[in-house]
Structure 1
Amino acid sequence: MANKKTLIAIVGPTAVGKTAMAISLAQHFKTEIISADSRQFYKEMSIGTAKPNSDELIAVKHHFIDSHGITQDYSAGDFEREALLKLEELFQRHDVVILVGGSGLFVRALCEGLDDLPKAGDEVRERLNTEMAKFGLEVMKERLKSIDPVYFQNADIDNPQRVVRALEVFEATGNPMSFYHKKDVEKRPFDILTIGLNMDRTLLYERINLRVDMMMDAGLLDEVTALLPFRTKPALLTVGYAELFDYLDGKLSLEEAVDKIKQNSRRYAKRQITWFKKYGNTHWFHPSELSEIIKFVHTSIEKAS
């Protein structure tokens, strides 16, 4: 009987070193990578999303990088369907495939499945995105709290995309998002091994601050300026883009905007760590422990087979 296929999910906070680890593991197992970063799908968003660079993309074949345009709406459910099809194809050539990303909802979509949530019309989504850009996250969070306190307590409500999506579901159906979060975990036809990367919080925050400075040096402001016509798109209501839109609107100085990107990135990293510590059976390592991770993966695969 053929060995069962294994998906190795590399998760953890922003700037911890997930991309480098995924590439190292993919090279070791002679396989390919699926990205589960919800912003790296978009061709127009590169600097602010810390996409793998050209050398990294050449080193190992990546999927779901630059796969969509910013005008396309792309949900976690869409990713689940397309990534499962891609995995079916990849597992014909490889026993192991690497999944990498810090977007917890997209990782969960592929590994566990999501409820088939209803969608509102385009006009509802556009209006809610415009209101988010106009009134800000805090106002929209209060609106969500009033209609769905259960979801508000359990979701990543500091993520504008999650808040807009929950409000959209309510407007489309009259039911809160929490009404639909009842489905059992989908059993996948492959094993899933989740590796979490983490490090000392002080060092992680230093890495985040340095990454933001490097993004600014690489031309992040020009990238954001070019995206002004699309600023209400959900992917752009996020860290690194929202703050620079505020600068371009004259609400912040450039120095204040950069400081806010660093602050919000650190907060996002903290939320990611919390999410993945609650998520499934995650095995945690320091990013420097490549040999230990490889040994652990081989042992786990042998036990499962």
Structure 2
Amino acid sequence: MTSSPYLISIAGPTAVGKTAAAIALARYYQTEILSADSRQFYRQMSIGTAKPTPEELAAAKHHFVNSHSVNEPFSVGNFERDGLSALNELFQKHSVVIMAGGSGLYIKAITEGFDELPDIDPSIREKLNLQYAEQGIAVLQEKLQTVDPVYYQQVDLNNPQRLIRALEVFESTGTLYSSYRKGSYKQRPFTSIKVGLDMPREELYNRINKRVDDMIVDGLVAEVQQLLPYRHLNALNTVGYSEIFDYLDGKTDLPEAIALIKQNTRRFAKRQLTWFRKDKDIQWFKPNDVSAMIEYIDKIIAGLSA
């Protein structure tokens, strides 16, 4: 018999309906929600991150929504540490806690952990960041392909932070970043149950397009305008903000910026699904089929508790 508490992870692409499903499950299990969305942490970014509405936040208590300022660096490692600490407290009150988000790396951090990485010389990171700012992402891609072809085949080549992370590890230690990625699981003091949400691609893309239109109506341009002083920060280097910065710079007009946000969000959703599909522990459901999710979760809990 196990007395381990249960963490229910709700994963899936952007705009699929994770918030509604998580709230429904939180209400059923009379518990709270840990957000694993790497952009909803930030108080200044609301419209472009499709944060839960005040009504949704009132329907179930959320953690790690509006928890940080864009000025505060908050890495996936920080989230692993703080998220596990929050769960430790939540499991004092609840035998089940819900975690919801589309950031696969952040869900992995909580459920599995990461291999220990070495300390990095800050001057190396600074040098790589400067190189990226002055010469663009192609230079980082070429460097990584040369020094670590294994990780080059695995990484999102359009994510400068991931490229810089791999290069700074290599330049600091002389050891390949890929050699640190053993994929070993860390023992957690809870049992993890993973639920994935998906729908037909055309339906998802229609939802994405409508969400972007709604963001514009809700004042996305004004939100991004207020964030101009912070545009150099990593938190702002993200879909929905980058395209509006380009519009405010006069590089595009507004219809083109909106079309690019939709296109880039659809591509992002596709990458999210590719990531989650690799996780064989995820059981997939339609977003509105909450009763089937509950049946699945209850069956696992009953089986493990028997």
- Distance of 1:235 and 1:8 partners within structure 2: 27
Q: Which amino acid aligns with 1:175?
A: T
Q: Which amino acid aligns with 1:155?
A: V
SS at structure 2 position matched to 1:154: coil
SS at structure 1 position matched to 2:277: helix
SS at structure 2 position matched to 1:182: coil
Aligned to 1:236: 236
Q: How does 1:60-139 map to 2 (within 5 A)?
A: 60-120=60-120, 124-125=124-125, 128-129=128-129, 131-132=131-132, 135-139=135-139
CA contact (8 A) 1:26 1:60 kept: yes
Aligned to 1:288: 288
- Distance of 2:119 and 2:206 partners within structure 1: 40
- Distance of 2:53 and 2:171 partners within structure 1: 40
In structure 2, the CA distance between the partners of 1:62 and 1:123, relative to structure 1 (3 Å rule), is farther
Q: Deviations over 1:91-126 (max 9, x none)?
A: 111010000111111100000011232454556545
CA contact (8 A) 1:48 1:215 kept: yes
Structure 1 window deviating more from structure 2 (10-19 vs 131-140): it is 131-140
In structure 2, the CA distance between the partners of 1:8 and 1:139, relative to structure 1 (3 Å rule), is same
CA contact (8 A) 1:126 1:232 kept: no
Q: Which amino acid aligns with 1:229?
A: P
In the alignment, structure 1 segments of 5+ residues that lack a partner are none
Aligned to 1:146: 146
In structure 2, the CA distance between the partners of 1:50 and 1:160, relative to structure 1 (3 Å rule), is farther
How many positions carry a matched residue from both structures? 305
Q: Which amino acid aligns with 2:190?
A: F
- Cα offset, 1:127, TM superposition: 5.4
- Cα offset, 1:131, TM superposition: 4.9
Q: Deviations over 1:129-179 (max 9, x none)?
A: 455455544554333333322112112333343233333433443433212
Q: Which amino acid aligns with 2:287?
A: P
- Distance of 2:258 and 2:133 partners within structure 1: 19
Aligned to 1:36: 36
**Percent identity of paired positions between Structure 1 and Structure 2:** 54
Aligned to 1:193: 193
Q: Which amino acid aligns with 2:75?
A: S
SS at structure 2 position matched to 1:266: helix
- Cα offset, 1:279, TM superposition: 1.8
- Distance of 2:79 and 2:192 partners within structure 1: 17
Aligned to 2:261: 261
- Distance of 1:140 and 1:216 partners within structure 2: 33
- Distance of 1:123 and 1:249 partners within structure 2: 30
In structure 2, the CA distance between the partners of 1:118 and 1:258, relative to structure 1 (3 Å rule), is farther
CA contact (8 A) 2:2 2:304 kept: no
Q: Which amino acid aligns with 2:27?
A: Q
Q: Which amino acid aligns with 2:245?
A: F
Structure 1 window deviating more from structure 2 (19-28 vs 220-229): it is 220-229
In structure 2, the CA distance between the partners of 1:127 and 1:235, relative to structure 1 (3 Å rule), is farther
Q: Deviations over 1:50-81 (max 9, x none)?
A: 11111111111111111111111111111111
